[in-house]
Amino acid sequence: MRLVMDGGTKELVADPKSVKVNKTTGTGMDIEWKDGHRSSYSFVFLRDACPCALCQEERDKDGRQPGDSLKPVAGALPIFKALARPTEVEPVGKYGIRFTWNDGHQHGIYSWEFLREWCPCQDCRNRRMMNASAGDKKPN
Ligand SMILES: [Zn+2]
Ligand SMILES: [Zn+2]
């Protein structure tokens, strides 16, 4: 597979056919999978989907799924948060990709499997909703 990042291309062997990280424009990451499926993730989505234990725990508390943004607390003033952007992006072997975020957070390693599972496109959202309502076991 081909990982295209600002200033270089790296050849990797993994499930995605190609991964494009639009770090300079800040638009997000596009993945084309070997089966032809395409996924586009905004950086905000990816930050909210951070798979590290800490972020998982916080999401569990609020009943959020990976990629769901924090629900505003009723009556509370909105806290200004800079839009999530990665300051560094690096491949993690064949396994996935790691982002260092502009808020300093850097513990999440996004495996290709995880990214495919939480693809934000409408088809995959529908599939996850069907799985959830059918009472299938949830991922993780
Ligand atoms: Zn995290
Ligand atoms: Zn999808």
pLDDT digits (tens, 9 = 90+) for 82-103: 789 999 999 998 889 999 999 9
110 within domain boundaries: yes
Q: Which residues of the chain register pLDDT less than 50?
A: 11-14, 138
68 within domain boundaries: no
What pTM, to 2 d.p., does this model score? 0.79
Q: Determine the distance separating the centroid of ligand 2 and the alpha carbon of 17, expressed in angstroms.
A: 15
Q: CA–CA separation, 30 vs 42, rounded Å?
A: 9
Counted domains in the chain: 1
Q: What are the residues whose beta carbon lies below 5 Å from ligand 1 (ion)?
A: 50, 52, 55, 108
54 within domain boundaries: no
CATH of the domain at 10: 3.30.2020
pLDDT value at position 94?
84
Half-sphere exposure of 2 (CA within 13 A, CB side): 7
51 within domain boundaries: no
Q: Domain of 128?
A: 2-43+83-133
64 within domain boundaries: no
Q: CA–CA separation, 62 vs 59, rounded Å?
A: 5
90 within domain boundaries: yes
Between vectors from CA 2 to CA 65 and to CA 110, what angle results, nearest 5°?
20
